[in-house]
Every structure is written in structure tokens, then in C-alpha cells.
Amino acid sequence: MKVLNILSTPWRATLEEQDDTVVWLTHAMIGAGAEIDVLLTGEAAAYAAPNLNASGLTIGGMPQTQPPDINRDLNSLLEKGRQVFVCQHAMTQLGLHEDQTSPSITPLLSHELAPLLDNYDQIWQW
């Protein structure tokens, strides 16, 4: 079975997590044998930008020493043979251009989205 995780909300649970919660879950399920790809859309399309840096959070003098490294975790999905797509329309709405996308992430035009969904048995929207 193949699943497409559509991720539209970024930076969940930053106070207590050191990952994106859905990217982490995707990795954990792949470790259990799952075939899951990821489509970034909505505000999560910003994850396609390189050089993301979530460090610097300090509250009450206590720093988050291991902040989420989204670029690393998405690249790691690709290294595991999975695919990561980004909706180009969502990137445009965020003021990002195709040349600002990590080269390993596949940009998709709006008319390419529906055919993509046909490749999967289940679609999970996060």
C-alpha cells in the first residue's frame, strides 16, 4: 500500500518537539515498512526552502538545544527512496520562487496534483 501525506501546517508542537511531528511520524512508519511520500502545501510549502533554521529558542534562559532540522529530515526521506513534492502555487503565495527550493524536492503545478493522487492507495491530509 502507498500513502501520500499531504502536509499543510508547519511548525507544530515546537515547544516540546524537536521534529516536525508529521515528518517524524512518516520516518517512524517507513521504519515499520511503510511506503509514504510527502506533499508540502499551504504554509508547509515553506519547508521546501533550503537553509531553514529553527534554532535560537530560549525561554527563561533555557535554550532548545536540538531544534527541528526540517531540511535534514526531508532529505533523509529522499535518501530512503521516498519522494517529497511541493505545491508550486503554495510556494508562490508564500513569496517563494522555484529557484529557492531545495533541488531534491519536486515542484508540482496545480494541474499535476490530481494525477499525483492517482498514484496512491490512501491520501492523508495533515
**CA 47 to mean position of chain CA atoms:** 6
Torsion region of 38: left, alpha or beta (phi above 0 gives left; psi -120 to 50 gives alpha): beta
Contact track, another protein, 28-67, x by CB under 8 A: xx-xxxx---------------------------------
Which of 28, 117 has the CB closer to another protein? Answer: 28
* Under rule CB under 8 A, residue 104 binds another protein: no
Question: Rounded CA gap, 23 and 77, in Å?
Answer: 9
Can you tell me which of 10, 12, 80, 111 binds another protein, judged by CB under 8 A? 12
